[in-house]
Amino acid sequence: MHPILKLVSQRLALGLLLLLAASALIFVGTQILPGDVAQSILGQSATPEALANLREELGLSEPALSRYFSWLGSAIQGDLGVALTNGQDIATSMGRRLGNTLFLAFWAAVISVPLAIFLGLLAVRYKDRWPDKLISGVTLASISIPEFLIGYVLMYFVGVKLGWAPSVAMINDSMSLGEKLHAIALPVTVLTLVVLAHMMRMTRAAILNVMQSAYIETAELKGLSSFQVIARHAFPNAIAPIVNVVMLNLAYLVVGVVVVEVVFVYPGMGQYLVDHVAKRDVPVVQACGLVFAAVYICLNMVADIVSILANPRLRHPK
C-alpha cells in the first residue's frame, strides 16, 4: 500500500476511535453537570409532579449507561434522534446551523488566509523596517483585544453610526447571496482580525527561518528579486508550519466562534450548542460535540498530510 494511503487510513481509524472517546466524555460531562433536562426545561416553574411527568416522557428514568448505549446504537446508524427540549429533528436543525457556521468560516477564511500569508511575506520582505513593524503592531493589537470588544466597537461605529452593515448578522434561506454577505460583513471582519495575527506571525517566522539557509543566499546571488526569492524558494519550504497554523485557525473559525456568534446573533453552531448545554439536552450536545471533534480531527489530518506532501523527505521515506 502506498505510504500516504496507509497513513490516511491509519489516521481515519484513529479519528473514529477519538470520536467514540469524545462522545463518551461528553456524555459523562453532561451527567456531572447539576440538574437535568427536565429541571432545565421547567426552570423556576418546576413542580415535583411536572418534573416527574416530564422525566417519564423523555425517558430519563432509565439508567445513564443504557441511555448512552441506545444513543450510540442509533448514532452509528446515522440517526441522531430528536432534541429532548423541543422535539425537533437534530440532523435537520443542526445541519442548518452547521451550514451557517461553515458559511461564516468559509468567508472569513477566504479573506483572512491569503491576507495573512501575503502580509507575512510582506513583513519578511521589509523585515525590521516600518511595514514589518506596522503589520506586526496592528495584527498583534487586534488579536490582543477581546473579540467581543472588537465586535461591539464595529457594531457601534459601522452598524449604528455609519449604517454600512447590519449590526445583527441574521441570515436565513430567503436571502440572496449578496444579502447574506452584507449581513455577515461585521462578523467576518472581526474573525479576520482575530485570526490574522497568528497566521501572519507564523508565516513570517517560518520564512525567516528558511531565509537563513544557504540556497536562499544562492538564489539572491543569482540575481532574483527579494520577493521572488521569498515566494519561489522560501515559501514552499516553509509551507508545513504555515499549513499547520492555518488549519488550527480554520478549526477555530468553525468551533471556537461562539462569542462572535452571540455578539452578532449569528445563527450558527456555537449558540445552538450553548443553548442545549444550558438545558442539558444530551442528544444535541452529543451530536454537536461529534461534529466539532470531527472538524478538528479532519483539519489536523489535512495539516499532517499536507506537511508530508510538502516535504520530499517525508514523502519518500526510506
Partner 1 sequence: MQDQLDYLAKRAGAGKLSRRDFMGKASALGVSAAAASTMFASAAYADGPKKGGDLKIGSTGGESTNSLDPATWASQVPYHNGRQFGDTLVEVSPTGEIEPRLATSVESTPDAKTWMFKLRQGVEFHNGKTMTGDDVLKTMERHSNEDSKSGALGVMKNIESMKVDGDTFSITLKDANADLPYLMSDYHLVIQPGGGMDNPAAGIGTGPYKMEVNEPGVRHMYSKHANYWGDDAHFDSVEILAINDATARTAALQSGQVQLINRLEPKIAGLLARAPGVSVQSTPGRGHYVFIMHTDTAPFDNNELRLALKYAINREEMVEKILRGYGSVGNDMPINAAYPLFDSSIEQRTYDIDKAKEHYAKSGHDGSPIILRTADGAFPGAVDAAQLFQQSAAAAGIPLEIKREPNDGYWSEVWNVQPFCASYWGGRPVQDQMYSTAYLSSADWNDTNFNNPEFDAKLIEAKAELDVTKRKALYSEMGMLVRDQGGLICPMFNDFIDGVSDKLVGWDVDPNGELMNGQVTRKLWFA
Q: Does 309 interact with partner 1 (rule: CB under 8 A)?
A: no
The β-bridge partners of 89 are: 82
Q: Does 285 interact with partner 1 (rule: CB under 8 A)?
A: no
Nearer to partner 1 by C-beta: 57 or 217?
57
Q: Does 45 interact with partner 1 (rule: CB under 8 A)?
A: yes
Least separation in angstroms between residue 40's CB and partner 1 is: 7
Q: How far apart are CA 93 and CA 79, in angstroms?
A: 13
Residue 232 host element (H or E): none
The β-bridge partners of 79 are: none
Q: Which stretch binds partner 1 (CB under 8 A): 209-217, 221-229, 267-275, 298-306?
A: 267-275
| Whether 276 contacts 284, CB under 8 Å | yes
CB environment 277-299: b (16+ within 10 A), e (fewer)? bebbbbbbbbbbbbbbbebbbeb
Q: Does 187 interact with partner 1 (rule: CB under 8 A)?
A: no
Q: Does 263 interact with partner 1 (rule: CB under 8 A)?
A: yes
Q: Does 155 interact with partner 1 (rule: CB under 8 A)?
A: yes
Q: Which stretch binds partner 1 (CB under 8 A): 5-13, 216-224, 260-268, 295-303?
A: 260-268
Q: Which stretch binds partner 1 (CB under 8 A): 112-120, 127-135, 202-210, 270-278?
A: 270-278
Q: Does 12 interact with partner 1 (rule: CB under 8 A)?
A: no
Q: How far apart are CA 100 and CA 85, in angstroms?
A: 22
Residues written for the chain: 318
| Whether 105 contacts 253, CB under 8 Å | yes
What is the contact mask toward partner 1 in residues 114 to 133, using x (rule: CB under 8 A)? --------------------
- # residues near partner 1 by CB under 8 A: 51
Q: Does 23 interact with partner 1 (rule: CB under 8 A)?
A: no
Q: Does 163 interact with partner 1 (rule: CB under 8 A)?
A: yes
Q: How far apart are CA 19 and CA 289, in angstroms?
A: 9
Q: Does 48 interact with partner 1 (rule: CB under 8 A)?
A: yes
- Residue in this structure with the C-alpha cell 448545554, named with its chain if needed: 277
| Whether 179 contacts 193, CB under 8 Å | no
Q: Does 29 interact with partner 1 (rule: CB under 8 A)?
A: no
| Whether 19 contacts 293, CB under 8 Å | yes
Task: Give the CA distances from residue 50 to residues 41, 45, 58, 84, 215, in Å, rounded to whole numbers and listed in that order.
Answer: 10, 9, 12, 15, 75
Looking at 1, 44, 223, 313, which residue binds partner 1 (CB under 8 A)?
Answer: 44
Nearer to partner 1 by C-beta: 16 or 170?
170
- Residue in this structure with the C-alpha cell 429533528, named with its chain if needed: 89
Residues that bind partner 1 (CB under 8 A): 33-35, 39-51, 53-54, 56-57, 83, 85-88, 93, 96-97, 152, 155-156, 159-160, 163, 166-168, 170, 172, 262-265, 267, 271-272, 275-276, 278-279, 281
